Amino acid sequence: MSSIQQWHDAAVERTGLDDFGGDDYLEGLTVLEQSLEAEAAMTDIGRFAIGEIITQALMGRLRAEAGLKARPEAADVAIEQPLVIIGLPRTGTTALHQLMAASPHFQGLELWLAEMPQPRPPRDQWEQIDDYVSCKAKMDAMAEMNPDQSAIHLQLADTVDECWNIFRQSFASVTFECLFRIPTYSSWWANCDMGPAYAQHRRSIGLIGVDEPETRWILKDPSHLFAPEALFATYPDANVVMTHRDPLKAVASVCSLTAVSRQGFEEHPDDIAHGAEQTELWARGIERMLASRAGREDQFYDLHFADFQRDPLGSVAAICDRFGYQLDAAAEEAVAQWAADHPKGEHGVHDYSPEQYGLRAEVIHERYGNYIEACGVAVE
C-alpha cells in the first residue's frame, strides 16, 4: 500500500469522514510524496512528523467538505476588502496581525480552525470541542519539546495564525520545503497554478466565518508573496499591508526559525545550503509581489519594521485610516490591551547569526537590491 493511500485511510479513520472534495490536491501530494522519498533523507522522527502533517492536512480537507455540505450558504458569504498582511518572514507580520486581530471589527484565522475548518463556534464553547482540544494539546506538547521555537515564533490553538495552514490542505505550500530539502517539490511548487489552493482557502474562510458575515477578515502569511495573481483573483478588493525590514535580518531570522522547526527531521542538515535556499526562495517571492503591485498601489500600505517597533498602536491607526477601516474607542482599547498583555520577548529571546547560514551582508543586499530601492528599506 502506498504512503498516499495510508495517509488517506488514516484521515478517514480519525475523522469518520470520507469526502476529500475535488482531486486537484492530488498532484501536489503525489509530487511531495515522491520528493520526500527520493530526496529528503528523513530520520525516523522526520518520517513520523511529515506523516502526521500530511494526515492532518487531509483531515482538514475532510472537515471543510463536511462543513460546506452542512452549511451550503457559506459559499455565498461575501468577503469584502479583507486586510492581508504580507512581507518577508520575521518583519513584524505576526505581531501586527495579532495586534490588529484584537479589534472586534476584524475576524482572523485561529490556528485550530485553520487546521480543521468549520463554522467558528462561540468562544466559550471551544474547550468542549474535540478539534480545539486536540490542537491545543498538540501545540502545548510542541512548545514543551521545542522551547526554542516558541521563543522565535509561538503558535497557540486559539490565536490567529497564517494562511499556509489551509494551503497545506491543497499540498501547495512553502512550508514543506521549509521542513525538508525536497528540490523536486520546490520546483513544482514554484511553478504550479495556485488558483485551486486559493479557491479552497476562500471556501474555508467562508465556512469559518459563516456566522459572522459582516465582520471583516484580517489574513496574514508571508507566502502570499509567491502568488499575487491568485491572491488578487480570489480577493480582488483586498487591501495589503506590506511589512519591510533589512533582508539580511529577515533572511537570517527565518533561517533560524526553519532550522529549529526541522531539527531532528533530516539525517544530514546543512546550514549553509539552507541559507542559500532560503535566500533565493524569499527573493523570488519579493520579486513576484513587486511586479504585481504595478497598477495596484492604492491597495497597498508599506510599514517599515522600525516604525512599527517604535509605535505599534500608531501603526494600526495609520493602516485603518489608510483603508477606511473602523477603529473606534472599543477597538482602540482592545488593541492597546493586547499590546500591554504581550510585551516583546515574553516567550524568550531569539538569538541568531547570519554567519551560521553563510549569509553575507553584501551578497544579500545585492540580491535584494531592487526590493531595497523600490520600497525604501533601511539597511541596519
Q: Which residue type occupies 373?
A: E
Q: Looking at residues 343-354, what average pLDDT do you find?
A: 65
Rounded distance between C-alpha atoms, residue 150 and residue 136, angstroms: 14
Q: Architecture of domain 3-375 in CATH? A: 3-Layer(aba) Sandwich (3.40)
Identify the band that residue 150 occupies on the pLDDT scale cut at 50, 70 and 90. low
Report how far apart the first and last C-alpha atoms of the chain are (Å, whole number).
Answer: 53
pLDDT of residue 350: 52
Rounded distance between C-alpha atoms, residue 344 and residue 243, angstroms: 18
Instruction: Please count the CA atoms within 13 angstroms of the CA of 196 that sit on its side-chain side.
Output: 17
pLDDT of residue 345: 57
pLDDT of residue 148: 62
Rounded distance between C-alpha atoms, residue 371 and residue 88, angstroms: 11
| pLDDT tens column, 277-291 | 999 999 999 999 999
Number of Cβ within 10 Å of residue 211's Cβ equals: 14
Determine contact, residues 22/196, Cβ cutoff 8 Å: yes
Cα 154 to Cα 45, 111, 161, 195, 342: the distances in Å are: 21, 11, 10, 30, 12
Q: Which residue type occupies 184?
A: T
Place of cell 494551503: 167
| pLDDT tens column, 286-314 | 999 999 998 999 999 999 999 999 999 99
pLDDT of residue 219: 98
| pLDDT tens column, 189-247 | 999 999 999 999 999 999 999 999 999 999 999 999 999 999 999 999 999 999 999 99
DSSP conformation letters of 249-318: HHHHHHHHHHHHHTTTTBSS--HHHHHHHHHHHHHHHHHHHHHHHTT-GGGEEEEEHHHHHH-HHHHHHH
Residue boundaries of the structural domains of the chain: 3-375
Q: Looking at residues 131-142, what average pLDDT do you find?
A: 92
